Amino acid sequence: MALELFDSKEQRLRKFVPLTSGHVEIYLCGPTVQSEPHLGHLRSALVYDLLRRWLVASGYTVTLVRNVTDIDDKVLVNAGSRDWLEFSREVEKSFIEAYENLGILEPTHKPYATEHIDDMIELTKKLISLGHAYQAEDGSANVFFDTASWPKYGELTNQKLENMEGETDASFGRRSPHDFALFKAHKSDEPESACWQTPWGLARPGWHIECSAMAKHFLGESFDIHGGGLDLRFPHHENELAQSTAVGDRFANYWMHNALITINGNKMSKSLGNGVSVTELLAQGSWAAIRYWLLSANYRSNLDYQSGSITEAQAALDRIVGFIKRTGLERKVDLSFLPEDFVSAMNADLNLPAALAALHEHVRLGNQAIDEGAGTVTDLFDAVRAMIHVLGLDFALAESPVDPELVRKIEELIEMRNRAKQAKDFAAADSIRAELQGMGVTIKDMPDKTIWSIDG
C-alpha cells in the first residue's frame, strides 16, 4: 500500500508522490517565541517529526524546514522593558529543551525571521510590481496585500472574500478590512532595533510574509508538504498561499494540518485557566510517556487531556519496555521487520491508533512466546524494536526503570481480577486489588479496561 495523506486544501486523501523522486521537502510553521511552549506546540512538532521518520523509514531522504518567528507583536509586548531579541532567544531555549526531551529530531534548517528581512522585502516588491500589494494610502511604511486583486484568495479554506473575517476597520492606510500587512511601519513606542530600513520607510515584517519568504529561500518556488496546526489554517496559511502564488510560485503541493489539544473536552485557553504545565505532566510519567500520549490519537482528531492521560500512557509504555527487557536481547534495529499491519496503518494517513494497536498486539504475542518457550521471540522482538524506532520511542528503553517481571506480574493479577469480577467473585477481586496495593500499584477501572500505575 502506497502512502496516502489527507490534503487539507483539497479536503481528501491523496496518494503521496514527491516532486523529486526519492526526496521530500517539508515546510513546518515553527513557534512564535513569545512564551513557553504548551501542549499544542508540542503536538504539532511531534506530528511532523513522526511524518519525517515514516518517510525516512519508507526510503525517502527528507529536508524539513521549521522556522522561528522571533519578531512579532506579541514578542515585543511580552518582552516588556527587556531587549526583545534576547527575550525571544530565552523563550526559544524552552522550546529547544522540550523538543529534545520529547525526542523530536532537529530540522534540516531552522531559519529565524530576523535573518531573512531582505527576502521578505524582495517578495513584497514583486507583489507591488504585479499589482497585488500597495503602500499605505496614508503615506506610512505600512504595506498591504490587496486581497481584491487575487481572485483565488480563500482557496485553502474554501471561503469567499465577503464571508471572511477581516480587520475591524480600514485602518493604518488599509484599503479593505480584508487586506493583510506585509510590512508594518515602525511605531514610536517600539524599540528602534525592532525595525529595518525598507523601500517604504522604517518597518518590520508582518507574520505571513515571513513564512513565504523563508520557505522560498530554502525550498524554492515549489515543495512537497506544508504543515502546521489547524489554528494556523486561517488566516496565516491562507495568506501565505495567496502571496506566494500571486508572484507565480506553485508553493506547497500538499497541505497538512494537525488538530488541537483539549482539556477535559474544553478548548485549552489562558482565559479559562486550564493550561497544563510540563511540570504537571512529568509528575505523572516520563518524557517518553508524554510522547506516547501525544501520538495516541489520529493527528487530524482533537486529543483530549484528562488527569490520568499520562499515567495511562506510562503504563502502556511500561508494557512495551517490559517485554523488550524480558527477552534479554540486544540487537540492531532492522526496519525490514516492520509488520504489515503497522506499515498499512502508517501508510493510511499516519493512522496512529491502528499503528499502536499493531505494536501492542506484537508485545502480547511476544510475552506469550516467552511464556511458552516458543521460537518466535526473536522475530517478535525485532518487530517491536522496529516499530518503536519509527515512533521515536527508543529513548524509553534508557529512560524507564521498569522491572519487566513486575510488569508481567501486574498484568497477570489484573487479568485474574477481571475474570473474578466477570464471575461475580467480588471477594477474590477485592483480595487481588489489595495485593496490588501492597505492591505499590494503583488501579483504576475504566469502561473498557483497567489502567494501572506504580506509586511514587
CATH number of the domain within which 100 lies: 3.40.50.620
**Among 382, 402, 422, residue at a domain's last position:** 402
What single letter denotes the amino acid at residue 323?
A: F
- pTM across the whole model: 0.87
Q: What SS3 state is found at 23?
A: strand
**Among 229, 258, 287, residue at a domain's last position:** 258
Environment class of residue 233 by beta-carbon count within 10 Å: exposed (0-12), middle (13-18) or buried (19+)?
middle
In angstroms, how far is the first alpha carbon of the chain from the final one?
45
For residue 454, being part of any structural domain is answered with no
What does the pLDDT read at residue 171?
A: 63
Strand locations in 196-329 (E):
196-198, 201-205, 222-229, 251-258, 261-263, 266-267, 303-305
Which pairing describes strands 12-15 and 4-7: parallel, antiparallel, or unpaired? antiparallel
Closest C-alpha to 290, from 408, 392, 402:
392
What phi and psi values does residue 348 have, to the nearest 5 degrees? -90, 65
Check whether residue 253 and residue 313 sit in a common domain: no
Check whether residue 231 and residue 171 sit in a common domain: yes
Below-70 pLDDT ranges, the chain = 166-171, 269-275, 399-402, 404, 451, 453-456
For residue 133, being part of any structural domain is answered with yes
Output the CA angle 66-71-75, nearest 5 degrees.
105
The full length of the chain comes to 456
Confirm if 208 and 236 have CB atoms less than 8 A apart. yes
Which residues make Cβ contacts (< 8 Å) with residue 272, sequence separation at least 6? 263, 266
**Among 223, 258, 293, residue at a domain's last position:** 258
Output the CA angle 225-104-313, nearest 5 degrees.
110
For residue 225, being part of any structural domain is answered with yes
Based on its alpha-carbon atoms, the radius of gyration of the chain, rounded to whole angstroms, reads 25
Question: What does the block give as the cell for 381?
Answer: 522482538
Which pairing describes strands 266-267 and 303-305: parallel, antiparallel, or unpaired? unpaired
What does the pLDDT read at residue 38?
A: 84
363-to-307, 313, 366, 378, 382 alpha-carbon distances in Å: 26, 15, 5, 12, 11
Q: What percent of the chain has pLDDT over 90?
A: 70
Q: What SS3 state is found at 233?
A: helix
Check whether residue 42 and residue 147 sit in a common domain: yes
Confirm if 427 and 417 have CB atoms less than 8 A apart. no
Check whether residue 321 and residue 387 sit in a common domain: yes
Question: What does the block give as the cell for 101?
Answer: 526531551
Q: Taking the CB of residue 232, how many other CB atoms lie within 10 A of it? A: 19
Question: What does the block give as the cell for 301?
Answer: 482528531
Confirm if 148 and 161 have CB atoms less than 8 A apart. yes
Q: What SS3 state is found at 75?
A: helix
What does the pLDDT read at residue 270?
A: 56
For residue 435, being part of any structural domain is answered with no
Confirm if 383 and 359 have CB atoms less than 8 A apart. no
What does the pLDDT read at residue 6?
A: 98
What CATH number is attached to the domain comprising 359? 1.20.120.640
For residue 11, being part of any structural domain is answered with no
Confirm if 405 and 318 have CB atoms less than 8 A apart. no
For residue 447, being part of any structural domain is answered with no
What does the pLDDT read at residue 443?
A: 80
Check whether residue 65 and residue 159 sit in a common domain: yes
Check whether residue 32 and residue 107 sit in a common domain: yes
For residue 266, being part of any structural domain is answered with no
Check whether residue 360 and residue 231 sit in a common domain: no
- Residue in the structure block whose three cell numbers are 534508557: 398
What's the farthest any 2 CA atoms get from each other in the chain? 83
Confirm if 48 and 94 have CB atoms less than 8 A apart. no
CA distance 360 to 292: 13
Domain count, the chain: 2
Check whether residue 218 and residue 343 sit in a common domain: no
Check whether residue 67 and residue 126 sit in a common domain: yes
Check whether residue 83 and residue 156 sit in a common domain: yes
CA distance 239 to 182: 10
What single letter denotes the amino acid at residue 389?
A: H
Check whether residue 121 and residue 208 sit in a common domain: yes
Check whether residue 123 and residue 64 sit in a common domain: yes
For residue 318, being part of any structural domain is answered with yes
Which residues make Cβ contacts (< 8 Å) with residue 215, sequence separation at least 6? 27, 65, 223, 226, 240, 244, 251
Range of the domain at 215: 16-258
